[in-house]
Structure 1
Amino acid sequence: MPVSKSRRSLLRGLAIVPVAASAIVLPWGGALAALHQRYEDEPATLVRTKEGRSISRFRYHNAERWMTTLEADFLAEPRHAKEALHQAGFVTQQALCAYLLDVGFADAWNASHIKQDIAKALAYANACGFGHDCSDTARLAGVLSPYWKWGYHYADWEEDRPRTGDFIPATITPLVRALVDRVHDVTGHPRPKGCQRRPQGARS
């Protein structure tokens, strides 16, 4: 999905004047207000800064670098679904927070309110023009959240063990790759050295 000129113009405006996320002038103000109420979050104040842009780039580069582990052959087998989900959780958290930082969310707000909730991060990102309305990605985000749970060992007999939602590495990796690529496209951050865009066919 291309990045619209109107979105770029809006972001340039946020770099000049701090705007409360619930302000009427924001096209996504109503959606953000609804999310604040839904999650009982402190309203965010969106303002783009050089520091925020720098942290955003760092988070995106983190996502790309750790994406290489998710795409590695040793995680490709279905029996590694739990390990792949844990890796996917970290990558998507870094990527989505990179986007939120780029549109003006403060890093401290993300740390306090997003934490490791991937579904919540995706909801906030899409409310702010991310434009990644993929039902499979939304379902994966729900399975991932909070992603720390996939870092623990659970025996098959434990009733409270997290469920994979039938996701396996072969279905997890393309979804996460598409999300990271979307962050690259809309933020304009350069890819880290050594990280090149994968052919479209590799994501299908």
Structure 2
Amino acid sequence: MTLSDSLSGDSKIATSRRALLRALTIAPVAASAIGSPWGGALAALHKHYEDEPAKIERTKEGRSMSRFRYHNAERWMTTLEADFLIEPRHAKEALHQAGFVTQQALCAYLLDMGFSDAWNARHIKQDVAKALAYANACGFAHDCPDMARLAAVLSPYWKWGYHYHDWEEDRPRTGGFIPATITPLVRALVDRVHDVTGHPRPKGCQRRSQEARS
């Protein structure tokens, strides 16, 4: 498959997703996730994580919060892409930053889908792998094995902001990730959120994101 084929496929997925969300908006405001097109996948995750069932309720407030979270992810992404975090010795700092950015981006997607901020706060918290699983279960379609592996390493991302001594056996492991491999994966995920939600990029981030991909 060529890159153009891949981009075309992503575009079709994003377009069909937006059409479906328009239909959900026309339908009754609140609907159980079990009755959604992704009900089976979400029910399986609820059971796996022992979470209370989410309700899909798309509102203007949720859309606004989604945009705020996405913009937050983009703004903090600039720190992750900064030169001072590029050295391999800064892997822990980069992982902590990546965890926050990824969590904000994925919660932006879930909010746009109709998950409530309160549900995310109770059940997603700082678990990036869990957020990615829920997002992919309801149409995010970001099936990147390396991103899935990074999400597992990141979760929960608070651990990367804590100082561990080298002799501590329970210190988290980087999984071999370094800033040079972390940043492109997180950038691709944030771009995916931008593409499927249709949120505009924050002022000043358009050029920087293009430069980061060049």
Q: TM-score, normalised by structure 1?
A: 0.95
Matching of residues 16-165 of structure 1 within 5 Å: 16=26, 17=28, 18-23=30-35, 26-165=36-175
- What amino acid is aligned across from residue 88 of structure 2 in structure 1? P
CA contact (8 A) 1:100 1:125 kept: yes
In the TM superposition, what whole-angstrom CA distance separates every residue of 1:102-135 from its partner, at most 9, and x where no partner exists? 0100010000000000000000000010010000
CA drift at 1:13:
2.5
Aligned counterparts of 2:14 and 2:126: Cα–Cα separation in 1: 29
Q: 1:52, 1:102 within 8 Å by CA — same for their partners in 2?
A: yes
C-alpha distance after superposition, 1:47-87 (max 9, x if no partner): 11000000000000000000000000000000000000000
- Structure 1: how far apart are the matches of 2:75 and 2:15? 29
Distance in 1 separating the partners of 2:178 and 2:213: 14
Q: CA deviation at 1:14?
A: 2.3
CA distance in 2, matches of 1:27, 1:66: 33
Question: Is the contact made by 2:98 and 2:186 (CA closer than 8 Å) also made in structure 1?
Answer: yes
Amino acid at match of 1:105: F
Cα distance, 1:203 vs structure 2: 4.1
User: Which amino acid is 1:181 matched to?
Assistant: D
Give the aligned residue type for 1:19: A
Contact 2:94 2:179 in 1 (8 A): yes
Number of equivalent positions: 201
| 1:167 counterpart residue number | 177
Identity of aligned residues (%): 83
Rounded to whole Å, the distance in 1 between the matches of 2:85 and 2:201 is 23
Unaligned stretches of 5+ in structure 1? none
Q: Matched residues in 2 for 1:115 and 1:155: separation? A: 26
Among candidates 200, 207, 212, match of residue 190 of structure 1: 200
In the alignment, the residues of structure 1 paired with residue 14 and residue 97 of structure 2 have an alpha-carbon distance, to the nearest angstrom, of 31
**2:50 & 2:139 partners in 1: Cα distance?**
21
